[in-house]
Amino acid sequence: MDRNVATILDACVLYPARLRDLLMELSGAAHKKRIYRAKWTEQIHDEWIRNVLIENTHLSPEQLARTRSLMNRAVPDCLVTGYEHRIDSLSLPDPDDRHVLAAAIECGAGIIVTANLRDFPDNQLKHCSVIAKHPDDFLCEFLADNEELGAKLFEDSIRAIKSRLINPPRTWGEMFESLENCDLKRTVEQLRDMIPASEVIHDGITTLGGIPLEKQK
C-alpha cells in the first residue's frame, strides 16, 4: 500500500456493522499517522444506509443519520464532492457503481475497498490508476506494510469497538465470529494472534449469553 494513499470505501463494506466499526476506528488512526486517507461520498452513505434500513427494521433513519454524522467527524476530509460530471464517461459491469469510481478519480484515490470485486474489474480500472481490493486483503496488507505500528493500531481499534459494545457485551469469540461473517477470515487469524488466549478464554467463561455471570446470580 502506498503511503497516505486516498482510499474509497464502497457502500458494501460500510453495510456490516462490525466491519464498518473496524474500518472507521482504523481509518481515524491511519489518518493521524498518514498511513492512508479513507474517503466516501454522500451517495455511498445513502446506499449503505438504505440497505441497512431494509434489512433491519428495528433501526430508525435518525439512528443511522447519527452514525453518518459520527463517521464524517471520525475521519477528516473524508467526503468527496464534485465527482458527478465524471460518471457518464465511465464503464463498469453495473452502471450504478460508476459513482464510486468517479469519486475515486476525483480525489485521486488509488484503492477502492469493496467486497464486490467483480463489479470493479482490473481492465476497466487500470487506465484510471485505481485498483479494487477486498477488505480482507486491504486489512492484511495494512498489517503487513506497517509492522508493529499497524498491529498496535489494529489491536487498539478492535479493543475500542469491543469496549463500546455493552448492551449486551460481546465476548472475543463473538467478535471474531462477527468479523469472519464479513468474510475477513485471514484478518481474524491475525487478530486471534494479537489477543492473548488466556484473555479470550477468561472472557468466554465470565460472560454467558452476552450477560456477565455476576449479573446472572
How far out from the chain centre does Cα 61 lie?
A: 20
Q: How confident is the model at residue 78 (pLDDT cuts 50, 70, 90)?
A: very high
In contact, 2 and 110? CB cutoff 8 Å: yes
* Count of C-beta atoms within a 10 Å radius of residue 120: 22
Q: Is 205 helix (H, G, I), strand (E, B) or coil?
A: helix
In contact, 37 and 31? CB cutoff 8 Å: yes
Q: What is the mean pLDDT of the chain?
A: 92
Residue of 5, 4, 2, 26 whose CA lies nearest to 135: 26
In contact, 147 and 44? CB cutoff 8 Å: no
Residue 215 predicted with pLDDT over 70: no
Put residue 44 in one of left, alpha, beta given phi > 0 → left and psi -120 to 50 → alpha.
Answer: alpha
- What is the per-residue pLDDT across 21-59, written as a single tens digit (0 to 9) for each? 999 999 999 999 999 999 999 999 999 999 999 999 999
In contact, 160 and 25? CB cutoff 8 Å: yes
Domains located in the chain, CATH noted: 5-136 (3.40.50), 146-215 (no CATH)
pLDDT exceeding 90 applies to what percent of the chain? Answer: 85
* Count of C-beta atoms within a 10 Å radius of residue 47: 21
- Phi, psi dihedral angles at 111 (to 5 degrees): -135, 140
Residue 204 predicted with pLDDT over 80: no
Put residue 157 in one of left, alpha, beta given phi > 0 → left and psi -120 to 50 → alpha.
Answer: alpha
Q: Which amino acid is at 188?
A: V
Contact residues for 118 (Cβ-Cβ < 8 A; gap 6+): 93
